[in-house]
Amino acid sequence: MKKLEHGHSKAEIIERFEAVPSPSYLRDWIYGGIDGAVTTFAIVSGVVGGQLSSVVILILGFANLLADGFSMAASNYLGTKAEMEQYHKLKAIEEKHIDIIPEGEREEIRQIFQNKGLKGDALDMVVNEITSNKSLWVKTMLQEEYGLPLLIRTPLKSACYTFLAFLIFGLIPLFPYVFNMSNAFFWSNIGTGITFFIIGSIKSHWSSKSWLNSGIETFIIGVITAVLAYGIGLILHYLVM
């Protein structure tokens, strides 16, 4: 028998559904982590391709970490805040409609579940149960009519997780230069490549891809970015010099 992701005994099901759910901030970590590693390593590759000094790498690298990291966090904050505002706006609209035209909203619930294949007494029972609880009624409309998730991420948390991930993973390409290691670019390549693979592998836990395929996919994206940056730096070096 194949191993399942969670138990299905009655006690396990009750425990799982009684647990207070919380929104996932995985996308913020992945988004910030990949972009931090990619953009910082692109700077390192571009500077090396342009045959500039390690000092330039450190200056541009740390400037990117702080400025681009903050920019990404701010953008994510505003985007998540817009999602939250949309959720509350539509929630208020549905609450108003239920108060003013309950029969119209009741018919919407009926149509929703009729389209799912329910009919007769089963359909009537579901409609009656949902519309007898205003909170459930509103949540059902938000999810079924507008396709909104029931769990909304907090804008500030999203921004903080994005910024932290950007800093943590964006520092890795710079470490060999911070510690003035010999063959710094080689070790920067190795460290960043491993980082890409690890991020991709972790991401696979929340997708249908295997950890190996997901890791390789993210690694390839990073390699393409690095090659482009290195090539542009090399071309500009010869054009300018």
The answer to whether residue 16 is domain-embedded is no
Q: What integer pLDDT is reported at residue 58 of this predicted model?
A: 95
The answer to whether residue 11 is domain-embedded is no
The answer to whether residue 112 is domain-embedded is yes
The answer to whether residue 7 is domain-embedded is no
AA identity, residue 53 = S
Q: What integer pLDDT is reported at residue 126 of this predicted model?
A: 95
How far apart are alpha carbons 75 and 40 in whole angstroms? 18
The answer to whether residue 187 is domain-embedded is yes
Domain span at 89: 26-240
Q: CA nearest 28: which of 197, 157, 209, 173? A: 157
Q: Write out the chain's pLDDT in tens, 241 residues.
A: 456 566 667 676 666 666 666 788 888 998 899 889 888 988 898 888 888 899 999 999 999 999 999 999 999 999 999 999 999 999 999 999 999 999 999 999 999 999 999 999 999 999 999 999 999 999 999 999 999 887 888 999 999 999 999 999 999 999 999 999 999 999 999 999 999 899 888 877 767 788 899 889 988 988 887 788 778 878 877 887 6
Q: What integer pLDDT is reported at residue 1 of this predicted model?
A: 46
The answer to whether residue 189 is domain-embedded is yes
The answer to whether residue 21 is domain-embedded is no
Q: What integer pLDDT is reported at residue 14 of this predicted model?
A: 62
Is the distance from CB of 101 to CB of 194 less than 8 angstroms?
Answer: no
Q: What integer pLDDT is reported at residue 159 of this predicted model?
A: 96
Q: For the whole model, what pTM was predicted?
A: 0.80
- Number of neighbouring beta carbons within 10 Å of residue 218: 25
Q: What integer pLDDT is reported at residue 16 of this predicted model?
A: 63
CA Rg value for the chain? 25
The answer to whether residue 159 is domain-embedded is yes
Q: What integer pLDDT is reported at residue 18 of this predicted model?
A: 61
Number of compact structural domains in the chain: 1
- Phi, psi (degrees; rounded to nearest 5) at 95: -60, -40
